[in-house]
Amino acid sequence: MNKRIAMLGGGNMARALVAGLVSAGLETKNIDVLDRNADKCEALRRDFGVNAYEQAGDWLKAADVVVLAVKAQGLAQTIATLKHFLNPEALFISIAAGIRIADIARWLGSQKLVRAMPNTPCLIKAGVVGLFAPATIDANDKTTAYEILSAMGEVIETTSEQQLDLLSTVSGSGPAYVFRFIEALESGVVRRGFDEVAARRMAILTVLGAAKLAAQSTEAPAKLRANVTSKGGTTAEALRVMDERDFMEMMDQAIQAAYNRNQVLADELGKA
């Protein structure tokens, strides 16, 4: 890709994106990062050889693509401060959780904006990245956004902004649900006398292995589950308890709660 990419914010997510872009072969001279912390800039230069700046400047005007990678609460203020350094023709990609396109577009004074939702496994290039591009975005810009975000994981495009918010209740928040599940597996055997270190390893590898099997299989997870559940066996007994406690209903409510909170936060953050 022959584009100049600037990132506003050089924190965890920007670092993950830089790492992915550099390993995908993007020329380091075409990657600029702005972060007000000298140590983060130094680490980005040292680890990846990209340009990193503590201050905005005319260098920012040269960007074809600008990734908005500061914390959501600080995005309005960051845009207000940097607006006169931004190329109005650039394609903007917001990875800020929750904030709606209409609000960011108002702050930027530009409609050339897509929203993306990465997740923490992006830090190890095993992420899911949601992408929503409004109808005003042309095919070339959409392809550019897709290519850039692919550096962090598998891109899943949604057909509406509401679908992107829904996606984030699973891929964005989901790693925490899975960590909770791992905690539960671990503590279930530790409480019964199993070695703690071995229990953790076993719980993590079980989730990893099952997820890999599901990802590689052509069968639905429900079928894979049925395949390992013999009638009258031990797995069936454990699943019976989960069904009695209505695990599916609990997860349904959890996803709804995450979605509701997302909308409240989007309303609040968008007021700026």
Ligand X SMILES: NC(=O)c1ccc[n+]([C@@H]2O[C@H](COP(=O)([O-])OP(=O)(O)OC[C@H]3O[C@@H](n4cnc5c(N)ncnc54)[C@H](OP(=O)(O)O)[C@@H]3O)[C@@H](O)[C@H]2O)c1
CB 56, CB 43: distance < 8 Å:
no
- Interface with ligand X includes 270 (CB under 6 A)? no
Tell me what percent of the chain is helix, strand and coil, each rounded to the nearest 5: 60, 15, 25
Least distance (Å) between residue 188 CB and ligand X: 27
Tell me the per-residue interface mask from 161 to 200 with ligand X, x by CB under 6 A, - otherwise.
Answer: -----------x----------------------------
- β-sheet bridge partners, residue 157: 131
- Per the listing, tokens 């279930």 go with 188
For residue 264, the minimal CB distance to ligand X (Å) is 15
The DSSP line for 99-148 is --HHHHHHHHT---EEEEE--GGGGGT-EEEEEE--TTS-HHHHHHHHHH
Asked whether the beta carbons of 162 and 31 are under 8 A apart, the reply is no
In whole angstroms, how close is the CB of 130 to ligand X at the nearest point?
A: 9
Compute the distance between CA of residue 157 and CA of residue 133 in angstroms, rounded to an integer: 8
Shortest distance in whole angstroms from residue 199 CB to ligand X: 26
Question: In the complex, which residue's CB is closest to ligand X?
Answer: 11
| Sole binder of ligand X in the list 117, 148, 167, 199 (CB under 6 A) | 117
Torsion of CA 28, 34, 39, 45, to 10 degrees: 10
Q: Return the range that interacts with ligand X (CB under 6 A); candidates 67-75, 101-109, 201-209, 258-266.
A: 67-75
Q: Which of 26, 34, 50, 266 binds ligand X (CB under 6 A)?
A: 34
Applying CB under 6 A, among 86, 107, 118, 203 the residue interacting with ligand X is 118
Q: Does 37 bind ligand X (CB under 6 A)?
A: yes
Minimum distance between the CB of residue 78 and ligand X, rounded to whole angstroms? 4
- The span of 4-12, 17-25, 100-108, 140-148 binding ligand X (CB under 6 A) equals 4-12
Nearer to ligand X, 71 or 261 (CB): 71
Contact 82, 68 (CB under 8 A): no
Q: Which residue has the tokens 């699943």?
A: 239
Going by their DSSP bridges, the two strands 127-132 and 113-117 should be labelled as antiparallel
Counting contacts by CB under 6 A, is residue 148 touching ligand X? no
C-alpha to C-alpha distance for 46 and 38, rounded to whole angstroms: 12
Binding mask 73-112 toward ligand X (x if CB under 6 A, else -) reads -x---x--x-------------xxx---------------
Which residues would be at the binding site for ligand X (CB under 6 A)?
A: 9-14, 34-37, 40, 69-72, 74, 78, 81, 95-97, 117-120, 172
